[in-house]
Structure 1
Amino acid sequence: MGLSFSFVVLLVLGTYMIASRATSGGSTGDVQLAEGTVPAAYAPLVQKHGNRCPAINPALLAAQLYQESGWNPKAVSPANARGLAQFIPGTWAAYGVDGDGDGDRDIWDPADAIPSAAAYDCALAKYVKDVPGDLTANMLASYNAGSYAVVRYRGVPPYNETQNYVRRITTLAKSFAAPKQPVAASRQAAAAIYFAQR
């Protein structure tokens, strides 16, 4: 999926500011979203649920959701994956959560889809925790190709689609993360523009 012009503008503008939102729980609580890189309605959910387990962080979860749907909560893929996190209905039945506590698990509702994506990521990470290699890469590969493929190949499987999926998300995550220390705005903006052009 290509980057839209509006996203690039938000990404470049967001690189000039450091997020001030507090994190909640999790061992990766030091990662903050860069201001303006996630739609305002979703940013608190991504920040909160992106700290669910050590394999993910808010920037990585944001990159994954962007890659999956481009922030479109009504997206449907040719494989019948649905919503913001692009769950197949069978996977949703097993891993979907009632994130907003309204009594239902709605695949189309970002308040359910975002925490469900984080919960599913963490479940996959737990399943492949003993597989050699980087835990986050193996988790992302599991989301794309299935954990059985990651276990079988003892790491990211040799599928071009899966390897590109892992590479895109881990690279894009850097653009969603606020810097831990001040970075020259022109340098960070240049990096965001470079990524967008690629």
Structure 2
Amino acid sequence: MRKKKSWLGLLLLVPFGGFLIFVVAMTALIAATNPLNLLKNGLTNVAFNVNAVPAQYRSFVAETGKLCPEVTPTVVAAQIHQESGWRPDAGSPKGAYGLSQFIPSTWKTFGGGAPQSDPRANILAQERYDCHLAGEVRKMQAGKYGTCVMEMHGKVYTKPGPKAGEMRGEVFDLMLASYNAGPGAVCYYRGIPPWEETQGYVPGIKNLMSTYSAPQAVSAVYTGNDKTLGGRAVNLARGSIGKYPYSWGGGTFTGPSEGFAQGAGIVGFDCSGFVRYLFHQASGGALKLPRTAGEQARVGQRILSSAGPPSKAEEAKMQPGDVIFFTSPGGSIGTGATHHTALYVGNGMTINALKTGTVIREDPFSQFSRRDVWTVQRYAVHTTAQA
């Protein structure tokens, strides 16, 4: 499973036609969050649910999140949960010890001279080591890492360092993989190593992060007609059916546009351009989603993730206006492997810009690949009352 992720809505006053069109939705301010997205808004630490951490460690975990953008208190807590289950005396057959499961040689470098049994030292060393690994990954991505050295089954394997562009995966995922398998293995395989433990470790941490994130926010509603943001997006999408052709790269916040490559000369929308347009217009200009399907899949509240279309029980969790993302088998959600998106309108139906040669249209779930990983995001915009 993938981590459930969601997004803190914009705290904005949104005038629409001279009137405030949203009401305050503040009882639960922020949701289980992708910390990398929130960091860009300076809100990462707000999303941390410190009460989910065992009481004796709360102040220590709350100290983290200041060294690099990839490491937040939520990330640190999820890793400790996975590594030791919050047991300061935990050990492993490989010689790892403590809350953060350092092996002695790594502890000597990152432990700051403290005893390895010291919980606070473990937590702060974990942040330092994670940020060090994130830096190593960036070197790999830039082609500046040097030689890859990996030890496996008692043998040492080496390979020239990767060239710029050879690494597969994002810094956050590769940082986690490096913590589990070592940066040499990540370098050697040019991505997450094909080892069952490491393949499960990265999504496992992401999933656990929801445990240590703040409560889910409620969606804002429209005044007057009481329609949700998603409902307004659905109504706008229905009015677009048959009007606009698919155009690769086409679509702006305000309407259709000429695309590029196979979309050159075609004024219309591609799948993510259409979704971005819908929610910008439905929010009165307040909500500005990222441009690509991969980027859009990393913001918002994660409703579910399933291999193939959701079951009836899973679909019952969805609301019209939720957005479905399709990721190729074996790919990472929220990357280039997330290749399509469609607006859910209820009863197993979607409205989407499907492919070149089609127009905006309504398609059933059966139109989409059962081999893909389907993830569902929900967007919201939160506003304050006008002063």
TM over 0.5: yes
1:180 and 1:57, CA in 2 relative to 1: closer, same or farther beyond 3 A?
farther
Please give the TM-score of this superposition, normalised by the length of structure 1: 0.71
1:79 and 1:133, CA in 2 relative to 1: closer, same or farther beyond 3 A?
same
Residues 138-153 of structure 1: matches in 2 within 5 Å?
138-153=174-189
Residue of 79, 88, 91 corresponding to 1:73: 88
Contact 1:29 1:51 in 2 (8 A): no
Contact 1:17 1:35 in 2 (8 A): no
* Partner-residue secondary structure (3-state), 2:93: coil
Contact 1:59 1:177 in 2 (8 A): yes
Structure 2 equivalent of residue 161 of structure 1 = 197
1:151-186 per-position Cα deviation (integer Å, ceiling 9, x unaligned): 111111111100101111011112211147348xxx
Contact 1:17 1:34 in 2 (8 A): no
Regions of 4+ moved over 6 Å: 16-19
Contact 1:29 1:57 in 2 (8 A): no
* Partner-residue secondary structure (3-state), 2:128: helix
Superposed CA RMSD: 2.6
Residue of 44, 50, 57 corresponding to 1:30: 44
Structure 1 equivalent of residue 356 of structure 2 = none
Could you tell me which amino acid in structure 1 is paired with residue 116 of structure 2? Answer: I
- Greater share of strand: 2
Residue of 98, 111, 121 corresponding to 1:83: 98
1:54-101 per-position Cα deviation (integer Å, ceiling 9, x unaligned): 11211111000110010011111111111110110111011112xxxx
Using the alignment, how far apart are the partners of 1:35 and 1:171 within structure 2?
A: 17
Residues 1-198 of structure 1: matches in 2 within 5 Å?
29-31=43-45, 32-97=47-112, 104-129=113-138, 130=141, 131-179=167-215, 181-182=217-218
* Partner-residue secondary structure (3-state), 1:166: helix
Using the alignment, how far apart are the partners of 2:116 and 2:187 within structure 1?
A: 28
* Partner-residue secondary structure (3-state), 1:41: helix
Which protein is bigger by CA-based radius of gyration?
A: 2
Q: How many residue pairs are counted as aligned between the two chains?
A: 159
Where structure 2 has 5 or more consecutive residues not aligned to the other structure, the ranges are 1-26, 31-38, 142-166, 220-300, 305-387
Greater RCO structure (CA 8 Å; 6+ sep):
1
CA apart distance, 1:18: 7.1
Structure 2 equivalent of residue 195 of structure 1 = none
Using the alignment, how far apart are the partners of 1:182 and 1:35 within structure 2?
A: 20
Contact 2:107 2:116 in 1 (8 A): yes
Please give the TM-score of this superposition, normalised by the length of structure 2: 0.38
Using the alignment, how far apart are the partners of 1:35 and 1:148 within structure 2?
A: 33
- Greater share of helix: 1
CA apart distance, 1:50: 3.1
Using the alignment, how far apart are the partners of 1:149 and 1:120 within structure 2?
A: 16
Q: Kindly, what percent of the aligned residue pairs are identical?
A: 42
Using the alignment, how far apart are the partners of 1:109 and 1:84 within structure 2?
A: 9
1:135 and 1:108, CA in 2 relative to 1: closer, same or farther beyond 3 A?
same
The answer to which of 156-165 and 130-139 deviates more is: 130-139
